Structure 1
């Protein structure tokens, strides 16, 4: 490690206290973390993973998104002689990591198709000269004979394979090109290999080790829990309002909204833009150029929200995503863990909202039905069912996710999900209700599924129920005051809590041991209220992540960070992450020595940005009587100010056309909608925006006639106005003018 980047250790003792065992490499790794990245401690399992890279022992490392996987190979690479070869699936991810390493003072490069001949030649020369510590490349490029031959001429310290779950056919993102990476073992037989992923079951981990021909690998599996993520599950109800509410809770912060279909992606992105949110779509139907532009705009903070299908996300190394919202059910818990895990990678509090509808499972069934492999289809639908169980559960969300991946969760209350925060409204007598449901399963001799059981309880007169004589059961119609879908939800909740279980191909309901105890009164089930499954959301008065942070100073520093990032052409988080900015705004360092102790400030960043940021903090402290401006009205507030239901999603997508002054006919042509439909959209726009001037859509002279008629007969109903005008003016024009007059109060 060069003297130019060496810093004194702030305090060696705290670094050593969280290490399982100090080794000969401990001090070197600890100093690298501090000097380059400004970190004074290891995260769980980082030291063990780094030791494997230092000692040359093969490893499979599973750490959750945000758990610091990249550092597990970057720190050893910085410490060891030679170059570490990193397999990465996406060009965008390679670029981000190379930019971040370079900003920290670690020489790195990437080989990919975007390079010019001169750039490739320069990288080759630097590799031969031993000037590069980490070389990133896609699996396809590494498998080329020329690349493999070139690598054998270099001093390779080790090979790191990122997103390693792609190797396994049992993984949720299998990629055939990853299968060929075993040739690296043949080409570099004496070089250790290390596989890194965020999500991998025991079966997938073993398959990774087998496919790569790893030798006695260390299996390092971290906790799948992400305690900084607040999980919430809501039934989709006025989905646009629910989405804008989460956007408003994180105004000015980055977020991702996942939709099941491309059509919903486009509609949601259009709606958000019409409501003043900087949003961009991302799905496989867009051109490569548009997808890359939208992704870059999001990473570099030119866009606040990206609305996407599951095509978006792998390789997005953006640490300051403050929320991830799913506008529909993900296709598996593995996918949900990975997608929601893109929030809060910097360890700060972030929100994960899941909105789901009963029809989401059917949507996935239609989308997956095209598969010719019946076994694969059955497995995929089983994964969808598991996701449904999670959504319907009233068990701690953190506990559910952690235990799904085979780990124990000991906390009685996570304090970071809708269940443990008591945000879910439950029925008054859940035990009695649950006993009625489980009793019906028993009366049906545990031979039927959830749909049939819910209809028996609701007292359905379907022929199959009557023909089977189940209308004579004592439990028939026992819950007739509720509709079958409501009862079906309760059944799913009882399954999620372990009182019932599903068996066989047709998900026949069976009563578990705990279910038998429930019938005896020895249980405490929780069942959601059908009228308001998630009626109240408690808002914490003070978020621990913001405790002691000077908010106006944070915003000033965030602006300065953005300016520096723009000058360098890199994402803002490459300069400093939000964690560092909050720490600066909390302690307000006004000297370089004090600034060097800020979390996330290493030697290179101290040299590049220290004086600039210290001066900005000093200026702020001298003029700390400056008050922040009044907050802008929130999107949700504007929606609430409109009609009670709020504008529909298609209507909101039309708002921007009306704002641009397009006529009804022009808007109808743009949207390929009937004129009458667009008139309906326009009236929602007028109410939502409280427009008082109808002249862009109604001739001024005609509008004055309508206003005169309204003055004569009032604005209550349209027919008297129509008759006052002698039937010479259409209802569409009358409705538009009447709405504007009503908006004047």
Structure 2
């Protein structure tokens, strides 16, 4: 079976997501792999699909028991032979599973890192390898290997011993987040041999990022409950302390919002029960410390709230990224006040050695720099995506349109002179100090450190008294975020000048800074799925109810049957036969066999009651007419479907062609005058930006446009806007 055939057969998808095909090919070629794919980017399929096509068993290292169970059940629902071995099993259950493995009845085996490195289990693995063969070793959540990662786990460091015992078995390491330093550390710790490395974009376009100022340092309960009722759907609220978690969960329940607490102070049984009830949609809200969330596969979390300041940008990206895993719009909100920084620093001060009670100075130093970075994000007036993605080394320029700073920009001020003063001070101190010391010099402070180094004798000493400490600190953070000065990531935060720094000092580059007089409190409406209409919505809710009933009967999470994306597609197209139902995204052969009749009967009954009929896109075979003759006809057909309200993905499914090819036909239709508006394809703001670039470069080649716009616009968007530009230029 070919990879694409296996994708549809087992998982119900007709095409790979970006990067998946290359990763799978490398795995099938027995290469080591390091894959960085954002949450919701399809990491699991990158190792699950090769496991089905290779001889032997694939060993998967997973950090959490709940995550193992979740993934194994999901695989079994797709007709895939998977199992796990962990401490929840009795001796008899474990023996039964090992016997099934030895008999060649299992394709994926999930284990925890603690068990994996024990001598007895390593011996068992050698027996398995000799009997049925181990095709690959997969390290999921691989950032746990690195001490520079946001969730370092010492047990993961021991996995290098596994590579020593099985040097010829390829290793696949996957994670959603990793800076360049973390990626290097993963490669070294797992002894990856010339790995195929894939680093996808960290951008999650469906997420809306915002920071809201706390009123008098607190979040109003009425404001929070209003937010939850307005946003709707499942949500996670992160708090810094266990006490706050318990208090907030109780207050939400008293106000008619079902919520459960989750933190390390609860028993294992309670935490497991609360997590299960949240995943199964028995409650709406999980109020938790950061102990909750890693590996949680619930795809339909519609919002993540940080009630307190997170500890690191990487941690914030991971935690907020638990929203919208299904690709649907979701909201990520951080409530912030300057007092949160002091509270977070108190936790850092308590990082002490468990035996000697001595301060862990290196850990405290790194933690404080990470705290400064996340505080700068909260305080920033730049595009939130620019800051978040820049942390991982990804350049994002322009207006994302999906954050508070882009939607509600604050007026900018020319701070070039102040920036020159600041950078000059960095140069005169020989680029050996951090922000705080530079601000002390500019403000004329007589701190011991300033006097010790003789910096009170510098020409820049005291030249910044016209600005407050907070204003200088805000400027410094803006300079770092705009790449106008470098800051080391070793915990010391040493500032060094770069090419752009010197351009500012020479007066060749202006510095514009927005001052955060007030953090965003504007009311926002996150873009939602186009309205399916009242009758369609009724069908969607009916299918959700059916899914919940089936899930409760089987004791599993509803999304393990079908995701909300699949349900919406059913509600839109109303498949009334198994053949039509098989074309719904997420319907593989096993799910068609198990659930097809039940869902088709519900859809058919609903349609009969409401006088509706099936609305599946009409199937038109590619071979219907010769390609040359069909070109004009195909374009008209694509444009007609588009004018009838179908999106490019729907048209591609209907006509069995690639989405890129659909965009090519749409571009031809725009030039032919068959499409008047492309608002549904590209927003007016993005059109304006691209049209200006075409005015500058012309329309002969797309690559110069793509590169000038910092790769923030897809070639599909560029293609249809180029067609529009040609029409306007006639």
TM-score range, shorter chain: 0.7 to 0.9
- Aligned partner of residue 552 in structure 1, secondary structure: helix
Determine if contact 2:367/2:491 at 8 Å carries over to the other structure.
Answer: no
- 2-structure distance, mates of 1:436, 1:498: 17
Asked if residue 75 in structure 1 is aligned to residue 49 in structure 2, the reply is yes
Counting only pairs closer than 5 Å after superposition, residues 91-490 of structure 1 correspond to structure 2 as 91-154=65-128, 155=132, 156-237=134-215, 239-240=219-220, 241-251=222-232, 253-369=233-349, 370-371=351-352, 372-409=359-396, 412-420=398-406, 422-424=407-409, 426-427=410-411, 430-431=413-414, 434=415, 438=419, 441=422, 489=474
Residue 404 of structure 1 deviates from its aligned partner by 1.5
Determine if contact 2:419/2:511 at 8 Å carries over to the other structure.
Answer: no
Residue 40 of structure 1 deviates from its aligned partner by 0.8
Residue 37 of structure 1 deviates from its aligned partner by 0.8
| CA deviation profile, 1:264-316 (whole Å, cap 9, x unmatched) | 22222222112111111111122222211111111111121111111111121
- Aligned partner of residue 153 in structure 1, secondary structure: helix
Determine if contact 1:331/1:364 at 8 Å carries over to the other structure.
Answer: yes
- 2-structure distance, mates of 1:596, 1:165: 37
Q: 1:502 and 1:31, CA in 2 relative to 1: closer, same or farther beyond 3 A?
A: closer
Aligned with residue 572 of structure 2, among 554, 562, 586: 586
Counting only pairs closer than 5 Å after superposition, residues 682-721 of structure 1 correspond to structure 2 as none
Residue 36 of structure 1 deviates from its aligned partner by 1.1
- 1-structure distance, mates of 2:160, 2:480: 43
- 2-structure distance, mates of 1:165, 1:355: 27
Q: 1:459 and 1:554, CA in 2 relative to 1: closer, same or farther beyond 3 A?
A: farther
The residue number in structure 1 matching 2:36 is 62
Q: 1:477 and 1:216, CA in 2 relative to 1: closer, same or farther beyond 3 A?
A: closer
Q: Which runs of 5+ in 2 are unaligned?
A: 353-358, 451-455, 613-730
Q: 1:382 and 1:621, CA in 2 relative to 1: closer, same or farther beyond 3 A?
A: same
- 2-structure distance, mates of 1:444, 1:212: 43
The residue number in structure 2 matching 1:48 is 22
Q: Which runs of 5+ in 1 are unaligned?
A: 1-26, 627-745
Residue 72 of structure 1 deviates from its aligned partner by 0.7
Q: 1:603 and 1:377, CA in 2 relative to 1: closer, same or farther beyond 3 A?
A: same
The residue number in structure 2 matching 1:666 is none
Answer with 1 or 2: which has the greater Rg: 1
Asked if residue 89 in structure 1 is aligned to residue 75 in structure 2, the reply is no
- 2-structure distance, mates of 1:566, 1:551: 22
- 2-structure distance, mates of 1:611, 1:469: 83
- 2-structure distance, mates of 1:473, 1:311: 46
- 2-structure distance, mates of 1:185, 1:453: 47
Moved more, 43-52 or 33-42: 43-52
Q: 1:288 and 1:614, CA in 2 relative to 1: closer, same or farther beyond 3 A?
A: same
Residue 137 of structure 1 deviates from its aligned partner by 0.7
Moved more, 305-314 or 491-500: 491-500
The residue number in structure 2 matching 1:703 is none
- 1-structure distance, mates of 2:425, 2:505: 17
Counting only pairs closer than 5 Å after superposition, residues 441-590 of structure 1 correspond to structure 2 as 441=422, 489=474, 492-493=477-478, 495-498=480-483, 513=500, 517=504, 523=510, 525-528=512-515, 530=517, 532-539=518-525, 543-544=528-529, 550-590=536-576
Q: 1:380 and 1:551, CA in 2 relative to 1: closer, same or farther beyond 3 A?
A: same
- Aligned partner of residue 84 in structure 2, secondary structure: strand
TM-score normalized by the length of structure 1: 0.71
Counting only pairs closer than 5 Å after superposition, residues 596-615 of structure 1 correspond to structure 2 as 596-615=582-601
Q: 1:585 and 1:528, CA in 2 relative to 1: closer, same or farther beyond 3 A?
A: farther
Residue 487 of structure 1 deviates from its aligned partner by 7.5
- 2-structure distance, mates of 1:438, 1:207: 35
| CA deviation profile, 1:45-103 (whole Å, cap 9, x unmatched) | 11122123222211111111111111111111122222111111111001000100000
Residue 224 of structure 1 deviates from its aligned partner by 1.5
Count how many residue pairs are aligned between Structure 1 and Structure 2: 586
The residue number in structure 1 matching 2:12 is 38
- Aligned partner of residue 389 in structure 2, secondary structure: helix
- Aligned partner of residue 74 in structure 1, secondary structure: helix
Residue 248 of structure 1 deviates from its aligned partner by 2.1
The residue number in structure 2 matching 1:622 is 608
- 2-structure distance, mates of 1:144, 1:125: 20
Q: 1:622 and 1:515, CA in 2 relative to 1: closer, same or farther beyond 3 A?
A: farther
Determine if contact 2:245/2:287 at 8 Å carries over to the other structure.
Answer: yes
RMSD (CA atoms): 3.6
- 2-structure distance, mates of 1:206, 1:70: 22
Q: 1:86 and 1:557, CA in 2 relative to 1: closer, same or farther beyond 3 A?
A: same
Residue 533 of structure 1 deviates from its aligned partner by 2.6
Moved more, 135-144 or 573-582: 135-144
TM-score normalized by the length of structure 2: 0.73
